[in-house]
Amino acid sequence: MGAGVSRIEIPGQVQAVLRRLNAAGYTGYAVGGCVRDSLRGQTPADWDICTDAEPERTAEVFSDCRTVLTGARYGTVTVIFEGTPYEITTFRAEHGYTDSRHPDGVSFLRSLGGDLARRDFTVNAMAAYADGRVIDRFGGLEDLRWGLIRCVGDPAQRFTEDALRMLRALRFAARFGFAVAPETEEAIHALCGRLQAVAPERLRKELSGLFCGEAVRSVAERFSDVLCVLIPELSACIGFRQWNYHHKYDVWEHTLRAVEAAPPTEVLRLAMLLHDVGKPAAFTMDKQLVGHFYGHAVIGAAMTETILRRLRYDRRTTELVTLLVREHGFYLMEDTPKRMRKLLSQFGEENVRLLLQVRRADGIATGTAEGAAEKTAMAEQLLESVSAQCVSLPQMELNGNDLIRLGVPQGPQIGAILRALLDAVLDGSVKNERGALEHAAREMIDKSEYSL
């Protein structure tokens, strides 16, 4: 970046695609996210290409490749070039979004300028030639340098055209740790009610992206009004004082800290966002002026299910997040092997791992619990050792025949020794490994606990 020409590195294969278009008399540029990510020093997930060739012409240029007219109506052809799919889209303008869902129509353009102008944010509205020179018509380089999400053109107009862009602004801000430019922010606060009209399928992807962003907490704090349009149930949490010495923060601040403390996966971040959503409804205060939230996890789980269904999350995600919210208060008071085995049999290993992460994030976010991270690390170790242990005789690495081979006569002793070994394995004093089990068996025999 800086004065002069900015360049990015374009992979040879992408260059070959662009040069093929050029050789056929068309223009071709890398555009959008791939240019932005390259300038940020990150490897783009995919390279989108735009061209003045109309879809059928693009298909001709790549007639030796497999091509799919994915969205020919919108100008997009997917070309499988040397095994990699590329979306090649004709320069286009979009007209009106009367339903806030889809453009009413698109028209193809002859030049790049109009195509860049229809794009949402300056940092997303840059293109690059095959040789890597960057084309920046709207100050994207500057905004990238200062870390700003700014609309291309008039924010109010752009958000009125397509309300989803408001949520996209927050998603990019959270992902890159960028601020939203002042006029863009102002328009979001003014117009966010319009997000209600956007199809949940479009909202969901941006919403999950937002919550998985590194800077989610500051963005969600500043734009809680936007989140409350999408999930009105959250509004009762904002500023809800807990009256409890275990908690340093109000419900909303605790919630956002918990989101931030969880690993950035969709399921865990949604679970933390919603884990205490039932608290305002469950609040009681005792005579000592201490607040309680009995049953909030169960209330919250029911709310979570409603919320995620309304946003059209898939069934698996909805069920899993609901489970995590319902069970988030599980307390492994003492993380004993016995308790861990019980959890494993109740929820299964994968879900116990998730619950431990939930408990960890929840603990960190109280602002008062010491050692939540260390406790989780220890519980995870315990989980490893317990799950590595067998839970029943058939899974034990030593069986009756092995004992006979060790010299134990057939008879009731066999069963007695096996059960004693299993107990030792379950309480963690002996590993479920052949060598260790044989050693333990010999000791039992030698001590003539099981006289031969």
Interaction site with ligand ATP (CB under 6 A): 32-33, 45, 119-120, 124-125, 162, 164-165
Of 32 and 278, the one with the shorter C-beta distance to Mg ion is 32
Alpha carbon distance 122, 155 (integer Å): 11
> CB of residue 22 vs ligand ATP: minimum separation in angstroms?
22
> CB of residue 381 vs ligand ATP: minimum separation in angstroms?
36
Q: Is 71 in the site for Mg ion (CB under 5 A)?
A: no
Angle of CA points 198, 202, 206, to nearest 5°: 110
- From the list ligand ATP, Mg ion, none, which binds 267 (C-beta under 5 to 8 Å, kind-based)? none
Of 124 and 242, the one with the shorter C-beta distance to ligand ATP is 124
How many binding residues for Mg ion (CB under 5 A)? Answer: 1
Main-chain dihedrals φ then ψ at residue 193, nearest 5 degrees: -55, -25
Count of helix runs (H) and strand runs (E) in the chain = 22, 13
Of 106 and 396, the one with the shorter C-beta distance to ligand ATP is 106
Lay out the site mask for Mg ion across 21-50 (x = CB under 5 A, - = otherwise): ------------x-----------------
DSSP single-letter state for residue 258:
H
84: left (phi over 0), alpha (psi -120 to 50) or beta: beta
Q: Is 103 in the site for Mg ion (CB under 5 A)?
A: no
CA distances from 312 to 271, 302, 309, 316, 363 (A): 16, 15, 5, 11, 30
Region 180-199 residues binding Mg ion, contact defined as CB under 5 A = none
DSSP single-letter state for residue 314:
-
Residue with tokens 């929840």: 362
Contact 54, 37 (CB under 8 A): no
Of 264 and 337, the one with the shorter C-beta distance to Mg ion is 264
Note the helical H segments in 126-176: 140-146, 155-161, 164-176
- From the list Mg ion, ligand ATP, none, which binds 55 (C-beta under 5 to 8 Å, kind-based)? none
- From the list ligand ATP, Mg ion, none, which binds 269 (C-beta under 5 to 8 Å, kind-based)? none
Of 145 and 434, the one with the shorter C-beta distance to ligand ATP is 145
Of 140 and 363, the one with the shorter C-beta distance to ligand ATP is 140
CA distances from 91 to 26, 74, 176 (A): 11, 10, 27
Of 28 and 32, the one with the shorter C-beta distance to ligand ATP is 32
Of 79 and 212, the one with the shorter C-beta distance to ligand ATP is 212
Strand partners, 94: 106
Looking at residue 218, its amino acid is S
* Coil vs helix vs strand at 151: strand
Alpha carbon distance 393, 413 (integer Å): 15
> CB of residue 49 vs ligand ATP: minimum separation in angstroms?
12
Chain residue whose CB lies nearest Mg ion: 33
Note the helical H segments in 332-433: 337-347, 349-366, 372-388, 400-405, 412-426
> CB of residue 125 vs ligand ATP: minimum separation in angstroms?
6
> CB of residue 43 vs ligand ATP: minimum separation in angstroms?
11
Looking at residue 378, its amino acid is M
Main-chain dihedrals φ then ψ at residue 356, nearest 5 degrees: -65, -40
Of 160 and 336, the one with the shorter C-beta distance to ligand ATP is 160
> CB of residue 168 vs ligand ATP: minimum separation in angstroms?
6
Of 194 and 205, the one with the shorter C-beta distance to Mg ion is 205
Q: Is 337 in the site for Mg ion (CB under 5 A)?
A: no
Looking at residue 26, its amino acid is Y
> CB of residue 101 vs ligand ATP: minimum separation in angstroms?
11
> CB of residue 215 vs Mg ion: minimum separation in angstroms?
19
> CB of residue 161 vs ligand ATP: minimum separation in angstroms?
8
Main-chain dihedrals φ then ψ at residue 136, nearest 5 degrees: -130, 100
Calculate the CA 322 to chain-centre distance. Answer: 16
> CB of residue 33 vs Mg ion: minimum separation in angstroms?
4
Note the helical H segments in 223-348: 224-230, 251-261, 266-274, 279-282, 296-310, 315-327, 337-347
Chain residues that interact with Mg ion, rule: CB under 5 A? 33
